[in-house]
Amino acid sequence: MSIERAAAALRAGDLVVFPTETVYGLGADAANSLAIARIYQAKGRPRFNPLITHISNLDEALKHAVLHEKAIALAETFWPGPLTLVATRHRDSTVAELACAGLSTVALRAPSHPLARALIAAFGGPVAAPSANRSGRVSPTTIGHAREELGDAAALLIDGDPCEHGLESTIVAVNAAGEATLLRPGAITRAAIETVTGGLAVPVPGSVEAPGMLASHYAPRARLRLNAEAPRGGEAYLAFGAEAPVGGLSLSLTGDLVEAAANLYAHLRALDAAGAETIAVAPIPSHGLGEAIDDRLARAAAPR
Ligand code: AMP
Ligand code: MG
């Protein structure tokens, strides 16, 4: 059965195209940072932007996010369905930091499409999935579009009808104080959201962690020195394509950019936690995923 095969592909760290009621998604095991890196590589984005993680219901969502009662009310009203909730990531969440692009928040949605639900149930864990299109192109609403866009990147495509909504999910952030902010208009109208929240804040720069804002992403305490061919005295070295000297780490021994992306956040954290004052980072090639890695490193290195 293709759902079982698709779940097995997710378990193996491969990508699966699947239909949802909004648009077709390119799914991966949300807990596997290597699989998440493959999504970014397939989409060809110049930056890591946070992905929506798909879960089966509110109980599952509560394992991954700290939800204010207003967020719970939204979930109870609109799930399963085209509403994505952004909230503080639960400390015990298994969702990879790369799927959240280093933000302290996580975006969660319980889709209503029967095939999406069957896949999540068969896999048994959270499935990270952006729209199944290459970066900068429109979201696919038919299996034909999805195959054209990303057929090569997926181990398997689940064939479904054209998407019911054909429009992305509405994204609402609910912070710890219960303030709801509309981050993206979508298949559920603002008015429908407001019947539950009583009002919606307008996004103010800085009020919600938005992708691409330096201050909101995880930034190491240590200073970063980029494009360092070798560490200087006292620096911890983050190597690429080679082994690191003692006290350092290598993003990828073989110079594999997908592996490097998958290791980036965990390695920065580990070197930071080890107390390095400065982390010297090897030059990263600027092609493919290297562009997103460089973007992330440049943000982490910016003066604060
Ligand atoms: P897509 O899956 O292609 O529809 O894109 C996902 C959208 O969700 C993007 O616009 C992201 O910026 C947004 N998103 C995902 N996670 C977060 C988050 N933690 N905070 C704010 N926006 C998010
Ligand atoms: Mg998209």
pLDDT digits (tens, 9 = 90+) for 64-73: 999 999 999 9
Residue 20 pLDDT > 60: yes
| Same domain? 88 vs 228 | no
Residue 61 pLDDT > 90: yes
| Same domain? 52 vs 191 | yes
The answer to the question of residue 91 being in a domain is yes
8-state DSSP, 278: E
Percent of the chain's residues with pLDDT above 70? 94
pLDDT band at 205 (very low <50, low <70, confident <90, very high): low
Residue 279 pLDDT > 60: yes
Which amino acid belongs to residue 136?
Answer: G
Instruction: Report which of 141, 139, 118, 128 is spatially closest to residue 184, judged by C-alpha positions.
Output: 139
Ligand 2 is an ion; residues with CB less than 5 A from it? 131
CA of 18 to the centre of ligand 2 (A): 14
pLDDT number for residue 93:
98
The most confident of the ranges 35-39, 132-136, 216-220 is 35-39
pLDDT number for residue 209:
53
| Same domain? 233 vs 162 | no
Residue 215 pLDDT > 50: no
The answer to the question of residue 105 being in a domain is yes
| Same domain? 163 vs 239 | no
The answer to the question of residue 204 being in a domain is no
What CATH number did the domain enclosing 81 receive? 3.90.870.10
pLDDT number for residue 208:
54
* Residue 190 structure tokens: 């603002």
Mean pLDDT of 124-141: 94
Q: 19, 143 in Cβ contact below 8 A?
A: yes
| Same domain? 276 vs 239 | yes
Alpha helices in 151-289 (DSSP H): 190-197, 257-273
Percent of the chain's residues with pLDDT above 90? 81
Bridge partners for 127 per DSSP: 29, 54
| Same domain? 51 vs 89 | yes
The answer to the question of residue 202 being in a domain is no
- Among 180, 197, 214, the domain boundary falls at 197
Q: In the 3-class helix/strand/coil scheme, how is the chain assigned residue by residue?
A: CHHHHHHHHHHCCCCEEECCCCCCEEEEECCCHHHHHHHHHHHCCCCCCCCEEECCCHHHHCCCEECCHHHHHHHHHHCCCCEEEEEEECCCCCCCHHHHCCCCEEEEECCCCHHHHHHHHHHCCCEECCECCCCCCCCCCCHHHHHHHHCCCCCEECCCCCCCCCCCCEEEEECCCCCEEEEECCCCCHHHHHHHHCCCECCCECCECCCCCHHHCCCCCCEEECCCCCCCCCCEEEECCCCCCCCCEECCCCCCHHHHHHHHHHHHHHHHHCCCCEEEECCCCCCCCHHHHHHHHHHHHCCC
pLDDT number for residue 132:
96
| Same domain? 227 vs 177 | no
| Same domain? 27 vs 94 | yes
| Same domain? 154 vs 227 | no
Query: Quick one: residue 102, left, alpha or beta (phi over 0 = left, psi -120 to 50 = alpha)?
Result: left
Our answer on whether the CB atom of 249 is closer than 6 Å to any ligand 1 atom is no
Residue 144 pLDDT > 80: yes
- Among 158, 182, 197, the domain boundary falls at 197
| Same domain? 153 vs 240 | no
Q: For the chain, what is the mean pLDDT?
A: 92
The answer to the question of residue 207 being in a domain is no
Pocket test for ligand 1, best of 183, 209, 218 (most atoms within 8 A of CB): 183
Domain count, the chain: 2
Pocket test for ligand 1, best of 52, 64, 163 (most atoms within 8 A of CB): 52
pLDDT number for residue 111:
98
| Same domain? 167 vs 20 | yes
Our answer on whether the CB atom of 130 is closer than 6 Å to any ligand 1 atom is yes
The answer to the question of residue 160 being in a domain is yes
Instruction: State residue 6 phi and psi, 5-degree precision.
Output: -65, -40
| Same domain? 186 vs 57 | yes
Instruction: State residue 282 phi and psi, 5-degree precision.
Output: -60, 155
Q: 283, 229 in Cβ contact below 8 A?
A: yes
Mean pLDDT of 133-140: 91
What CATH number did the domain enclosing 237 receive? 3.40.50.11030
Our answer on whether the CB atom of 30 is closer than 6 Å to any ligand 1 atom is no
Ligand 1, residue 133: give the atom nearest the CA. 3
Its domain, for residue 192, covers: 3-197
CA angle, residues 287, 289, 269, in degrees to nearest 5: 130
Using DSSP, state whether 213 is helix, strand or coil: coil
**For ligand 1, atom 21: residue with the closest CA:** 210
Signed CA dihedral, 108, 113, 115, 117: sign only? positive
Residue 257 pLDDT > 50: yes
The answer to the question of residue 74 being in a domain is yes
Report pLDDT digits (tens) over 71-94: 999 999 999 999 999 999 999 999
pLDDT band at 207 (very low <50, low <70, confident <90, very high): low
The answer to the question of residue 156 being in a domain is yes
Least confident of 28-37, 101-110, 165-174, 295-304: 295-304
Report pLDDT digits (tens) over 115-132: 999 999 999 999 999 999
